[in-house]
Chain A
């Protein structure tokens, strides 16, 4: 039994900008980790039913709303599987990607590959250089799994290894996947990857219990994909890629709440309004997949466009 993937308790810091975003995450702060077993001792600080004092690992005592505390027993792999397949009740996660802001920093890709133990050529999120042709300048487009509401991939899975949860996230269970790669063939966004050989650092992860919300450890012969950082959402944190972006490209939030938070500025705005004011669109809408990822148009393009050390004026062809 490990406590590795237990939801971490955090001391509050950045709650100012959010109404109630990521309810459980109100306590979120920078890296204050209380091991799951300590939770019981929270009750010792209880003053009344409403507020509660918590001791952070940095030694500060904080007062927090008791309703924001939750029991976090050490979860077994089986419990993680059940919770992971159900999703987080009442949520409908959405992502908005502002193409006008992306400068190809690729920190999203790096943090994602690090979190999910991916090899350099494996991408859950991939920043694509898009070229619409004609006189238009190219632009960069981060492309995670679109977490479609009508997902072509989950329909075709013969063993229910990939599935859509109630909170809108499409996950893959690599303990069950038979490696037929039908989902890869079905996905029009090329969002899925396959472990063609032994995963990165195989030995290191041999005894680690599988976390379906992180898809770690990766397994040979199974499919892997973007998970909208389901493990982070359960902790009340923004996805890895969203938090890593230095350019304010990503907004992430709950459509039911109609609020999305920017991963860089931590500003929170109404989701629908953001889409409407900026003429947001989805990728390949004609396929009827109903993505949960929205794009704000590629305005403010970089010109001359520099890519891999070359200016677009020298190098006109794209890969």
Chain B
């Protein structure tokens, strides 16, 4: 059943539409899944309300380790969101064909995680009530201002990059979803923007997608480079690095690639779309992830071996803490389990099958999450001057229940956005699949018109 797209039986536009819209109509377990996500978010919300009332003191953060899980999760979210740009923009622009059925999935991940990245930053603020000061008193010299600017730009372009390729799907949805709720049909009507499948309409949609795909590349590079500068622009051991920009960007693609892999498996199995997201796609995605991880591995060598070789005074504490000290367990688990072993495994064809891919993807994304923790916290534990005359809990840090609850709320929130999008719109672009199957615009229009 693999490689159906390549040489298998031709699909008609009718089967494509019914295959891709079926999961939107009936989907077992959807309510339970939504309830589960909402419960997780509810617990997080309670923790956040308590944090609002009593201050950031409810977290485990203190004066010296003053950034914790929120900031490291923020980088993780931004990182994961970057995959939208890689797959739909970079690979799309250079004409890679196999991304067609997964480009929209990547874009959904980008949207969900980018939006919640913005919220996590607010959770980390001591005075969220003063967030508007960023606009009233905004200071252009501060990397936070750059971050706010590029994150919002990235979200805006990502929304457009999600919506534009949806437009040609709308006529099919209007036709296929007549039995659905009125508000849904209204959404489909609005989002079609009067699209009727005319050749010039296809042409302008494609042109707009192309422009946005080009635009999003510098924005995406900026977003994660600036995020890395939140650290690299400070004179702190472990952050004071000139390669942080590319180090973060390449790491981001690893996290996002793993997220796409997991989503490919869950969605294709759950939505019964194995004919569209096939072993062939998992194989390609596995190869792509190996490439991304090798590049990231290269940057890791530079980031850790270079200072580790010199052991400059100051750097030595930090490096030894990671290599053999307090953070050694987490550091090596992340490096081996989240990077080196997955690289080796994915070199084998059998490991690029769907199920092994899922497990490797999960290992890589958990590794990516804790890698951000390793980048953020150990540096703060070793400031230039000793930590003294403060209570014991000021000396070390491990996120407490409040921080985990709020971070889980963010993860659940991002997954909720993806879930809702997957429930409202097809996760695979109907018109692009149809084009790949050699179905002409006229055939599609004819299909839409006949009742």
How many angstroms from the CA of A310 to the CA of B62 in the assembled complex? 28
A185 at the interface (CB under 8 A from B): yes
Among candidates A157, A193, A195, residue contacting B139 with C-beta atoms closer than 8 Å = A157
Which secondary structure dominates chain B's binding surface? loop
Residue among A126, A157, A158, A222 having the largest count of chain B Cβ atoms under 10 Å: A158
Smallest Cβ distance from A18 to chain B, in angstroms? Answer: 33
Distance, CA A198 to CA B57, complexed state (A): 9
Is B63's beta carbon under 8 Å from chain A?
yes
Q: Is B388 among interface residues, defined by CB-CB distance under 8 A?
A: yes
CA distance A190 to B394 in the complex (A): 12
A319 and B390 CA atoms in complex are apart in Å by: 11
Inter-subunit contact B55/A220 (CB<8 Å): yes
Determine whether the beta carbon of B55 is less than 8 Å from that of A197. yes
The answer to whether A196 touches B57 (Cβ under 8 A) is: yes
- Check A182 for interface membership: any CB of B closer than 8 A: yes
Interface residue? B124 (CB, 8 A): yes
Given contacts A126-B388, A189-B384, A177 and B54 within 8 Å (CB-CB): no
Q: Does A268 contact B (CB under 8 A)?
A: no
CB atoms of A180 and B124 under 8 A apart? yes
Question: Interface size on B (CB < 8 Å)?
Answer: 48
Q: Of A55-63, A68-76, A127-135, A205-213, which stretch is located at the interface?
A: A127-135
Contact between chains at B125 and A178 (CB < 8 Å): yes
Among A152, A220, A221, point to the contact of B235 (Cβ < 8 A).
A152
Are B385 and A178 within 8 A (Cβ)? Answer: no
B394 touches A121 (CB 8 A): yes
Looking at chain A, what size class is its interface with the partner chain? 35 or more
B8 interface residue (CB < 8 Å to A): no
Q: Which of A121, A126, A157, A318 sits near B391, CB closer than 8 Å?
A: A121
Does any Cβ of B come within 8 Å of A194's Cβ? yes
Asked if A297 is an interface residue, CB under 8 A from chain B, the answer is no
Say if the beta carbon of A156 comes within 8 Å of chain B. Answer: yes
| C-alpha spacing A126/B385, complex, angstroms | 11
Which of A121, A128, A129, A156 meets B233, CB within 8 Å? A156
Q: Is A36 an interface residue (CB 8 A)?
A: no
In this complex, what residue of A is CB-closest to B132?
Answer: A178
Do A159 and B133 touch across chains, with their CB atoms under 8 A apart?
yes
When distances are taken between beta carbons in the complex, the residues of chain B under 8 Å from A194 are 56, 63, 66, 126
A222–B127 touching, CB < 8 Å: yes
Q: B62 touching A196 by the CB < 8 A rule? A: yes
A8–chain B nearest beta-carbon distance, Å: 31
0/1 string, B115-152, CB within 8 A of A gives 1: 00000000011111011011011110111110010000
B383 in the interface (beta carbon within 8 A): yes
CB nearest to B145 among chain A residues: A158
Q: In the assembled complex, how far is the CB of residue B272 from the closest CB belonging to chain A, in whole angstroms?
A: 46
Q: B385 touching A189 by the CB < 8 A rule?
A: yes
Provided the pairs A126-B389, A158-B142, A185-B380 are in contact, do residues A196 and B61 lie with their beta carbons within 8 angstroms?
Answer: yes
Contact indicator B127/A318 (Cβ below 8 Å): no
A177:B141 contact, CB within 8 angstroms: no
Q: Which residue of B lies closest to A131 (CB)?
A: B386
Contact A185 B126 (CB under 8 A): no
Q: Is the CB of A180 within 8 A of B125?
A: yes
Interface status of A292 (Cβ within 8 A of chain B): no
| Cβ B235 vs Cβ A186 within 8 A | yes
Which A-chain residue is minimally distant from B385 (CB atoms)?
A190
- A contact residues around B234 at 8 Å (CB): 152, 156, 185-186, 188
> Is B64 interfacial (CB 8 A cutoff)?
yes
Q: Which residues of B contact A129 (CB under 8 A)?
A: 386, 388
* Nearest A residue (CB) for B384: A188
Question: Does B190 lie at the interface of the complex (its beta carbon under 8 Å from any beta carbon of A)?
Answer: no
Residues of A within 8 A of B141 (CB): 155-156
Closest to A288 in B: B235
Whether B144 pairs with A180 at a CB distance below 8 angstroms is yes
Chain A 280-301: CB-based contact to B (< 8 A → 1; otherwise 0): 0001100101000000000000
Cβ-defined partner of B143 (8 Å) among A122, A156, A222, A318: A156
Q: Given contacts A156-B234, A197-B57, A220-B55, is CB(A178)–CB(B133) below 8 Å? A: yes
- Is B287 part of the binding interface, using a Cβ–Cβ cutoff of 8 Å? no
- What is B's interface to A at a CB cutoff of 8 Å? 54-59, 61-64, 66-67, 124-128, 130-131, 133-134, 136-139, 141-145, 148, 230-231, 233-236, 380, 383-391, 394
Closest 10 CB pairs of A and B: A179-B126, A221-B126, A197-B57, A196-B57, A158-B144, A158-B142, A186-B234, A197-B55, A159-B137, A221-B127
| A/B interface sample: 18 pairs, CB < 8 A | A121-B391, A128-B385, A130-B386, A156-B144, A156-B233, A160-B137, A161-B137, A177-B126, A178-B128, A182-B143, A185-B66, A186-B234, A189-B385, A194-B63, A196-B57, A198-B55, A222-B127, A289-B235
